[in-house]
């Protein structure tokens, strides 16, 4: 006689993953392999028009550098043409780039900010 729809199905006879005495099933956990997110460098590029004070302010406000570190990075940008402001995950780095570019445009400066894979 077939099982009626309102009756629960019968458990299978000899199930290797089932402990029939306790009515429980054991499941083995497989270790998951997760990789850390790829990191990206946010860089400021030198130009001849953006004031050094504005660059220092950007480094302090958006990258949380203290005055001494911000000044050092600003001078590196000035002498070498570019410098790393911080290393972040892709989404955070892209947001920092957008914030810096928006602040520079509001202030009327042509400051360029880019991201590169670290």
Strands (E), the chain: 18-19, 24-25, 39-45, 82-89, 112-117
For the chain, the domain total comes to 1
CA dihedral 48, 53, 58, 60 (to 10 degrees): 140
What CATH number is given to the structural domain containing 78?
3.30.1390.10
96/44 Cα distance (integer angstroms): 11
Residue 3 lies in a domain: no
Q: Convert the pLDDT of each residue in 50-78 to its tens digit.
A: 999 999 999 999 999 999 999 999 999 99
pTM of the model: 0.72
Residue 82 lies in a domain: yes
Residue 19 lies in a domain: no
Work out the pLDDT band at 24, boundaries 50, 70, 90: confident
Domain of residue 69, residue span: 39-117
Residue 61 lies in a domain: yes
**Is 90 a residue whose pLDDT tops 60?**
yes
Of 98, 107, 102, 100, give the one whose Cα is nearest residue 77.
100
24/49 Cα distance (integer angstroms): 72
Q: Which of 8-17, 31-40, 89-98 has the lowest mean pLDDT?
A: 8-17
Residue 46 lies in a domain: yes
Residue 29 lies in a domain: no
Residue 99 lies in a domain: yes
Residue 6 lies in a domain: no
Max Cα distance, the chain (Å)? 90
């Amino acid at each position: 006689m077939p099982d009626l729809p309102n009756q629960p199905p019968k458990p299978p006879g000899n199930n290797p993953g089932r402990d029939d005495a306790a009515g429980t099933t054991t499941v083995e956990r497989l270790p998951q392999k997760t990789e850390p997110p790829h990191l990206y460098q946010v860089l400021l590029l030198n130009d001849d028009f953006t004031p050094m004070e504005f660059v220092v302010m950007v480094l302090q406000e958006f990258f949380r550098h203290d005055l001494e570190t911000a000044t050092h990075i600003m001078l590196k940008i000035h002498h070498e043409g570019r410098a790393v402001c911080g290393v972040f995950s892709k989404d955070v780095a892209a947001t920092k780039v957008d914030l810096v570019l928006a602040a520079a445009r509001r202030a009327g400066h042509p400051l360029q900010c880019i991201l590169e894979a670290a």
